[in-house]
Amino acid sequence: MRTVFWDYEQNNVKMIDQRTLPWSVDIVAYEDYRVVAQAIQEMVVRGAPAIGAAAAFGLALAAQQSQATNRLTLIKEIEAAAAHLNAARPTAVNLYWALQRLLRLAVSEELDSADDVRHALLQEAQNLADEDVALNRRMGFHGAELVSDGDTILHHCNTGALATVDWGTALGVIFAAHEQGKKIHVLVDETRPRLQGARLTCWELQQRGISYDLIADNAAGYFMRRGEVNLVLVGSDRTAANGDVANKIGTYQVAVLAKENGIPFYPVVPTSTVDLNLAHGDLIPIEERDPTEVVAVWGTPIAPDGATARNPAFDVTPHRYVTGIVTEAGIVYPPFVKNLRRAVEAEQKK
């Protein structure tokens, strides 16, 4: 089952509700693009590629919702819906990328009527979702070249099928290596404060029968220093042109520890997540979420009443800590300014 998909019988968007995993697998349906935006903000769906697909289907839904019979009127409504969806979460560039892809199509002079626009947007959203699955598999098998039989891999957050339409990015590399028969073990950071590693990554690894241990976030350095980690794989919500990587909070400290201990550190990044318009990572907007996520663990308070907290959802890892970046175009190595652009442009020409 895909993380996010269009139900052609019900004519609505459906998603796996990631807030209830691993305790139950719930499918939720949406018939209003505003509620899709709310689902993105509230992390019913999360992970940069999955957010992009959800936004694309949300915009297609906005077109279906509209009562406009005039093409230009419909386009204005779609543009307003895109602005609303784009505001849901600021860091993941796939959200903006997916919406811009559909908006460019909506204004095409080849679409003569409002119904033509509606049909084209839904088809393009479906194309985007299908492409995500295919490129994730390509990326996974490129990255599997980095994995040796017997390796222990440290993984932060969740980057599997749940973070994409299907298959995954960094976990997709692990899945590919497992399919190749390599015996691997995964150390899974719990990933506070929303515990995506503990709840989601462990669940996905269990589904595939891959060996793992869950560890506290602050135990990663312990295992690295003991020589128990061969490779670090993480995802990315936005990668700047110079190779700086914005990813789930805690990634930066993992990268620094990996560098200190001589362990290769590879983000696994579809080219749609590379933002060539941003020269470096300090320009990436970082979302700050509700501080109650920090002072309570899944609704259970862990701090005194009235405790204050800060809750950045992401941090930026400077490119000097990045060994290489796995993309669907292959593994990109420094200098990233030149080689990342080459990879992105090669994929755009396909």
Among 132, 134, 161, residue whose Cα is nearest residue 52:
132
The contacts of residue 87 (CB under 8 Å, 6+ apart) are: 37
Structure tokens at 303: 């701090």
**Among 189, 237, 244, 315, which one carries the catalytic annotation?**
237
Q: Quick one: residue 51, left, alpha or beta (phi over 0 = left, psi -120 to 50 = alpha)?
A: alpha
Question: Residues 94, 95, 101, CA angle at the centre, nearest 5°?
Answer: 80
Tokens of 19: 């807030």
Residue 175 makes CB contacts below 8 A (sequence gap 6+) with 140, 160, 167, 168, 208, 210
Residue indicated by tokens 């593994």: 331
Reduced to 3 states (helix: H, G, I; strand: E, B; else coil), residue 217 is helix
Q: What radius of gyration, in Å, describes the C-alpha atoms of the chain?
A: 20
Residue 237 known to be catalytic = yes
The set of catalytic residues is: 237
